[in-house]
Amino acid sequence: MTGTLVVGAGQAGVQLAVSLRESGDTMPITLMGAEPQLPYQRPPLSKGYLSGDTDADRLALRTAAFYADRGIELVTGERITALDTGRAVTDRGREIAFDRLGLTVGARVRRLRVPGAALDGVHHLRDLADADRLRTALAGTRPVVVVGGGFIGLEAASVARAHGRPVTVVEATDRLLGRAVAPVVSAFYAGAHARRGVRVLLDTGVTALDGTAGRVRSVHLTDGGELPAALVLVGIGVEPRTELATGLGLACPGGIPVDLDARTALPSVVAAGDCTLQPHPTGGGHAPVRVESVQNAVHQATVAATTLAGVARPTPEVPWFWSDQADLKLQIAGLAAGADEIVVRGDPAAERFAALHYRDGRLQAVDAVNSPADFLVVRRALATGTELPASAARRTDRPLKELLVA
């Protein structure tokens, strides 16, 4: 009896190991993590941890005793460098035999490919070590340039601004958070950050970073402009780690392909979390998607565990996500895919509203800003298949929950 090897001890890897035990699986489990710390939560790295409100010891997902009590052998600070059928090799030269494999290797940050991108003072934010470096640098540095108007860049920009730093966000497309939210929400965030003193440049790319004595000093822009910069945070997305899967012979076109059971094309090999490419949750002919969220990592890993253990799969979940920027809490439920109608409830000017996405008259998703009740109503409606027609949602004189069609 050799057991299960889970490669990657992040949110998905931990959940896979724990859910295997909860499924009644008694085979040995090895959970391998390349990072030295106990597995931890990443969301606070661009929020409370970066701002100094949360300590490192509050980030851990579980205590060391938790894993030991469940017979999960947690190995930290050791990376799997090669995989073969039934055998793995680590960067310390250790060999590990397995008969079932979970790939929960996550993603790595995408890097700027311009001259000067490797200068000192240029930061990325994916793991705790990155957050520590950024937190230290933020304490003394000004001005700050954030490249990329996505969630992580905007959350970090809010923290830097709250610390009194001059901050400019440079976004190559015509709107913030463009991949995730409705245009009205993008426009709202551009205004909200500007009101808090963050300069937002849209439709603007970066052509080069300039430095003095190896340290970044300025950022050159596609419009010919130049921004002074003592600290640059690059937040332009992530790339799934697919090299181990590719080495096993799996074709990985932008993620490790899995089915609804989190199964790869190889027997006894599952994958979960940021590294996967999965069927679109709404089906309907949409292309497979990568979903980067805690909810997805946890749910997909739970599904993967039931697949390995041969027990019933849990019911599908509605994807959901959150982002904290300054005092603005954004909550998203559902995956918007090509909405043809957006219904706005509440008042963007009062920084409290929700944008409901519709396609062919069917509710798809909600982006709720400081509106937790609307978020919950839509999340529940999507989960239960309850209808919430656009014509009803437009009745802004009535609470959303009263407009559900039984």
Q: Which two tokens stand for residue 161?
A: 């601004």
Would you say 36 and 76 are in contact if contact means Cβ atoms under 8 Å apart? yes
Chain position carrying tokens 């958070």 = 177
Options 135-143, 175-183, 186-194, 291-299: segment touching ligand FAD (CB under 6 A)? 291-299
Footprint (CB under 6 A) of ligand FAD, residues 213-232: none
Q: What is the DSSP letter of 350?
A: G
Of 4, 6, 10, 31, the one binding ligand FAD by CB under 6 A: 10
| Contact between 334 and ligand FAD per CB under 6 A | no
* CB 40 to ligand FAD: min, Å: 9
Sign, Cα dihedral of 391, 394, 398, 399: positive
Site membership for ligand FAD, residue 329 (CB under 6 A): no
Check binding of 292 to ligand FAD (CB under 6 A): yes
Q: Which stretch binds ligand FAD (CB under 6 A): 103-111, 206-214, 219-227, 334-342?
A: 103-111
Render the burial of 98-124: b for 16+ CB within 10 Å, e for the rest.
Answer: bebbbbbbbbebeebeeebbebebbbb
CB of 88 to ligand FAD, least distance (A): 9
- Which is nearer to ligand FAD, 116 or 150 (by Cβ)? 150
Residue whose CB is less far from ligand FAD, 218 or 300: 300
Interaction between residue 12 and ligand FAD (CB under 6 A): yes
Per-residue x/- track, 37-66, ligand FAD (CB under 6 A): -----xx-xx--------------------
d(CA 91, CA 224): 45
Least CB distance to ligand FAD at residue 21 (A): 17
- Rounded Cα distance, 41 and 128, in Å: 9
Measured at the CA of 178, the angle between CA 159 and CA 185, to 5 degrees, comes to 70
Tell me, residue by residue from 138 to 157, as one string, x for binding to ligand FAD by CB under 6 A and - for no binding: --------------x-----
List the structure tokens of 61: 């997902």
What is residue 295's DSSP assignment?
Answer: H
Q: Looking at beta carbons only, is 248 or 344 nearer to ligand FAD?
A: 248
Binding residue for ligand FAD, selected from 6, 20, 32, 289, defined by CB under 6 A: 32
Q: Please give the helix or strand (H or E) that residue 19 lies within, else none.
A: helix 11-22
Closest to ligand FAD by CB, 116 or 334: 334
Residue 8, interface with ligand FAD (CB under 6 A)?
yes
Least separation in angstroms between residue 202's CB and ligand FAD is 22
d(CA 33, CA 14): 10
Cis peptide leading into 143, omega within 30 of 0?
Answer: yes
User: Beta strands 269-271 and 100-103: pairing type?
Assistant: parallel
Q: Which amino acid is at 275?
A: C
Geometric angle at alpha carbon 275, from 273 and 281, rounded to 5°: 55
Interface pick for ligand FAD out of 116, 255, 273, 346 (rule CB under 6 A)? 273
In the complex, the residues that contact ligand FAD under the rule CB under 6 A are: 7-13, 32-35, 42-43, 45-46, 79-80, 104-107, 125-126, 152, 241, 244, 273-274, 292-295, 297, 321-323
